[in-house]
Amino acid sequence: MTAIQPARRRRKTPGRIGGSDVGTTRRQRRFAAFVFLLPALVVLGAFVFWPMISALLTSFTDASGFGTPNFVGLDNYARVFTDPNILRSMLNTLIYAAIFTPVAVVVSLLLALALNVPRLPLRGPLRTWLFLPFIVSLAVAAFAWQYLLDPQVGLLNYWLQGLGIRIGNLFHDPLLAMPTVALIAVWKSAPFYMIVFLAGLQDIPESLYEAATVDGANAWRRFRSITLPLLGNTTGFVLVVATIAALQAFDQIYILTSGGPYRSTQTVVLQIYTSGFKDLELGFASALSYVLLVATLLMGLVQFFFSSRSARAAQS
């Protein structure tokens, strides 16, 4: 008996240490992690998740901020796809995205390639100076560009007059207003995409360029055969982020044109603001915002899929 009892104790001790004690430790760690995450979860729940749920419920009503809202079903969503003004704002948003996205990607890639040259003079200060526009608020930048492009007192018109060129008010031209606000957004956003491309360029091994140079490849061939394929994932990321930013354009358009002239720059987000805060059609504005959310998710997923597929094809 005395020989068997110590053996039983030895068998129970590892089981107790490796079972219940370890399980208790895991529960304590999970509880501690939950305690640390609780403040963030409360903030997200109060300022993100609940407003999203509330907006979704509001989109099925005729809420205006006053009185008791009535349930209208899918009427607001049907209006989104039948109202000519809403369809015009969707088309304007697509035009804005078609101008902003490719120009921002190309400009930021060219800047990144230029700043990635090892022996470029003042490379560090140049990176800082070119990144400064991204730090400036888009609303502040819009006011500055409004002054620069003013046909009467604008500096750009003053400089062009010395060359015998005079431009009118670009923000009052139905054909030029949208490209103008899109290019201002490119000036503001391209520095961020430039930094992303710089990070991708610095991850490319220098030995690949050295081997290509030894094989006789010129700069264009190295860029086409090495740089572009290895930047596939980075380019896909920038395309998705730039497209989402284009679909959410609001600040500079609200300040520079307010949707004009003749609704030529009225985007979806500006239409949401107008419907919700000026026309007090909160239900319709909520429905339009959810349509924009779904469209943004779908376009982001489709674009990311094709970008990833092309990147894998280029690498193989």
Encode pLDDT of 27-67 as tens digits.
888 888 889 999 999 999 999 899 899 999 999 999 988 88
Query: Which pLDDT score, from 0 to 100, does residue 20 have?
Result: 62
Which of 310 and 150 is assigned the larger pLDDT? 150
**What digits encode the pLDDT tens for the residues 252-275?**
899 999 988 889 999 999 999 999
| Ranges 39-53, 148-162, 179-193, 209-223: which has the least confidence | 148-162
* Average pLDDT value over all residues in the chain: 85
Domain range summary for the chain, segments of one domain joined by +: 1-58, 81-315
How far from the centroid of its chain's Cα atoms is residue 293's Cα? 13
81-315: CATH number: 1.10.3720.10
pTM equals: 0.82
